[in-house]
Structure 1
Amino acid sequence: MLCSYKLWVQASYPPHLTVLNQNSNIPIPKTKTQFQRKSLDGRFDDIDDDADGSGLRKFALPSHVKSITSTSNPFVKHCLKLKSSSSYRHSHASALVVGTTPIREIYRYKESSQEKTVIDCLLLLENAEIPEGLDTHSCHVVRVGSMVMKKLSGVQSAESIEAIALMRFPTSFLNLTVDQNKSDSQSWFPSTHRILVLDGIQDGIFLLPGCCDPFNEKALRASRGASFQLPIVSGSWYHLQTLKDTFNMKMLAGHPDIDGKLKKPFSLSQEFVHSVAHVPSCLVLGSEGRGLSEKSQLKCELVSIPMTGKFESLNVSVAGGIFLFMLQPKN
């Protein structure tokens, strides 16, 4: 079963995480905060202003702007760059969420958890109503034409998408490769009962180098906005080793039972599940193409999913689902 590395951990977390808005794959140097100001000729000018000391870049759409009809508008270009560039997205600590359903789900989750959802701007198709549940949320609402909506959403029929939200990264996102002050692993997650760690590709997620940006367009659409709902920590093997040592975790890795391997994998049996039921655990799944890295194979106890026939691997999402279900404490 060759899959994308994912790790699972158990621990207890502190109440708050500081927002780190950087991508683990692409080191982004801290820059001065930049605000966009509309000049006399109608263009937006950058203004350096690092008053908040965040080191993040900000693009502020003037409050008097209520509609955008041109795809050449600077704000539209800004949004398009947020969609296409991970480094740009992380330097602004913002992501574009396309579609009423994920926007509403993110907002409802934040409300239920009493956490503030920051929607910097809600782009609505002309004549479309504000999505139910968001009509009381105070944010900058801008009406856009069908051509603008089509360009930003990436779909051919603009009528199928009525809303796009420009959202700030959640405070539950932390990048350890950038924030050197968050070295205390006990503050990374609110709970470490089960942490999913992705390497090279429920209480939280740990991203190792080479992982997909959790705030890119496809990830947000596939996860239905889960990136805004789960604590996510991005770091290196050094940080993961620190987490393991702090909570004395068992390192497990999904791997097919193939003859000739140096280490014989354990079978994901009910007996095995019972043996680790009360042990803080990390589950690592390797990428579908390359499988587990050598480091994962050396540091982890290999576990295979019993299969009939001669098939040797499973799709990573299928394999991950089986592992996550079986390793739940109740199982």
Structure 2
Amino acid sequence: MHQVRCAASHASTSSAAASSSSSPRLPAATDISSTANPYIKHCVKLRESSRYRQQQRRLLLVGQTLLSELAEEAGPSLDILVLFLRPGTDLPPGITAERVITVSDSVMKKLTGLEEAAGVQVVAELALPQYVDLQSWSRTSAHSSTSSSSNAAAAGSHQAAAGPQQQQQQQQLQRLLVLEAVQDPGNLGTLLRCAAAFGWDAVWLLPGCCDPFNDKALRASRGAALRWPLAAGSLQELLELVQQRGMLLLAAHPEDPLQQQPGSSPGDVKGVDALSGSNTASAGKQQQQQQPVCLVLGTEGAGLSDEVLAVATPLAVPMSGRMESLNVGVAGAILMFALSEGLQQLLGRLQQLGQVRGPDHDTQ
């Protein structure tokens, strides 16, 4: 069953809350052709400055594809303040805004900050999402799912048959991604996108991370920062949550457990396969009994802080090639996939294909 997950409470705030006393009034004009227009300058500053975004409680989203995907998932809760369109561009289906303004090519280029902005037809000013409180968070309250009518009926009958204990387990925080001092917006956006793609429940940002609503981060995440539960806080607050939820705290580590240095303990660093398991026959049972996981990733250069490494179990991606380490976006994607249901599903699928197409199978 395909699931579309979004956090409605995270994806929107009211217009009143988004507009502070110092925020500029929404423009009355329906056409803007000058890059010197005060409201255009305001929007450019939203794109360029994290502090200004926080002050104004607004952000700028560039591109119709991202906006349409966000609107499809968030629905009426999506709060679009101003929609900027090129001349002759139709309003995207299912999208409404308090103001719709046609802008010249030079203004559109100024808004996007791109050297080649000819392909961009839409830019939107949105209310800045709020971070979620994971202490009271549950999957049923933050995520919604859509499916075909047959799948929905099957899911409904399964839920009806599930007892109270199983329903309570379905609401628990099962997989939490934590980022520490990830300052590159491309890497941070990639990790948010992978967390959403692999079904991780939420992302926690420790101090030192770049702004997830940075223009580059939004593009790299395909808008995941706007429709996926994001939390932010200190390491101490994270540890309290981990203890409260009974989670296994893992720390991504560059050392390969298959190539231990002399004098080191083989059990110090665990490989992905040690935690994910490879027995596809019991994959479903293993998944039900799996302990909730909290995975912490750090910067590619400095890695994780000593404070994190002191309280977490190191976890590495085994590598047989001649590379010292992987980019944090790549390593994080591998670890998240390996620790998710996706790995077991893939192994099960490969097993099924092996039964159908053995080494001597005639494809003719």
**TM category, shorter:** 0.7 to 0.9
Q: Deviations over 1:262-304 (max 9, x none)?
A: 88201211x4224896111111112111112111211100011
Measure how far apart 1:68 and its partner are. Answer: 0.9
One-letter identity of the residue aligned with 1:122: L
Measure how far apart 1:188 and its partner are. Answer: 8.1
Measure how far apart 1:74 and its partner are. Answer: 0.6
Comparing 122-131 with 226-235, which one deviates more in the overlay?
122-131
Structure 1 pair 329–96 and aligned structure 2 pair: CA distance change class (3 A): same
Corresponding residue for residue 248 of structure 1: 246
Matches within 5 A, 1:150-189: 150-171=109-130, 173-174=131-132, 185-187=135-137
Q: SS of 2:61's equivalent?
A: strand
Higher strand content, 1 or 2 = 1
CA distance in 2, matches of 1:212, 1:300: 23
Q: SS of 1:195's equivalent?
A: strand
Measure how far apart 1:53 and its partner are. Answer: 11
One-letter identity of the residue aligned with 2:55: S
Corresponding residue for residue 306 of structure 1: 318
Matches within 5 A, 1:69-148: 69-111=33-75, 116-134=77-95, 137-148=96-107
Corresponding residue for residue 40 of structure 1: none
CA distance in 1, matches of 2:103, 2:220: 25
CA distance in 2, matches of 1:197, 1:149: 36
Structure 1 pair 233–279 and aligned structure 2 pair: CA distance change class (3 A): same
Q: Root-mean-square deviation (CA), in Å?
A: 3.0
Measure how far apart 1:227 and its partner are. Answer: 0.9
Q: SS of 1:159's equivalent?
A: coil
Q: Deviations over 1:136-165 (max 9, x none)?
A: x24310011111111111223442111100
One-letter identity of the residue aligned with 1:130: L
Q: Deviations over 1:208-264 (max 9, x none)?
A: 001111101100111111111101111111210121121121110111226376882
Corresponding residue for residue 199 of structure 1: 180
Measure how far apart 1:207 and its partner are. Answer: 0.5
One-letter identity of the residue aligned with 1:96: L
Higher helix content, 1 or 2 = 2
Corresponding residue for residue 219 of structure 1: 217
Question: What TM-score comes out, normalization by structure 1 length?
Answer: 0.74
One-letter identity of the residue aligned with 2:308: S
CA distance in 2, matches of 1:94, 1:272: 41
CA distance in 1, matches of 2:97, 2:107: 23
Structure 1 pair 120–141 and aligned structure 2 pair: CA distance change class (3 A): same
Question: What TM-score comes out, normalization by structure 2 length?
Answer: 0.68
One-letter identity of the residue aligned with 1:249: M
Q: Does the CA contact (< 8 Å) of 2:68 and 2:92 recur in 1?
A: yes
CA distance in 2, matches of 1:322, 1:153: 32
Structure 1 pair 285–106 and aligned structure 2 pair: CA distance change class (3 A): same
CA distance in 1, matches of 2:41, 2:60: 12
One-letter identity of the residue aligned with 2:135: S
Q: SS of 1:160's equivalent?
A: coil
Structure 1 pair 147–233 and aligned structure 2 pair: CA distance change class (3 A): same
Tell me: higher relative CO, structure 1 or 2? Use CA pairs within 8 A at least 6 residues apart: 1
Are 2:295 and 1:297 aligned? no
Q: Does the CA contact (< 8 Å) of 2:249 and 2:313 recur in 1?
A: yes
One-letter identity of the residue aligned with 1:82: L
Are 2:271 and 1:267 aligned? yes
CA distance in 2, matches of 1:272, 1:78: 49
Question: Runs of 5+ in structure 2 lacking a partner?
Answer: 1-6, 143-171, 183-199, 278-285, 345-364
1:315 to 327, 349, 353: 327
Measure how far apart 1:15 and its partner are. Answer: 9.0
Q: Does the CA contact (< 8 Å) of 2:137 and 2:173 recur in 1?
A: no
Q: SS of 1:233's equivalent?
A: strand
Q: Does the CA contact (< 8 Å) of 2:71 and 2:78 recur in 1?
A: yes
Q: Deviations over 1:113-145 (max 9, x none)?
A: xx60000000011222222332xx243100111
One-letter identity of the residue aligned with 2:88: N
Structure 1 pair 289–145 and aligned structure 2 pair: CA distance change class (3 A): same
Q: Deviations over 1:148-202 (max 9, x none)?
A: 111111223442111100011235x24xxxxxxx6x8124874522121111112
Structure 1 pair 18–100 and aligned structure 2 pair: CA distance change class (3 A): closer
Structure 1 pair 76–261 and aligned structure 2 pair: CA distance change class (3 A): farther
Structure number with larger C-alpha Rg: 2
Identity %: 36
Q: Does the CA contact (< 8 Å) of 1:17 and 1:188 recur in 2?
A: no
Q: SS of 1:164's equivalent?
A: strand
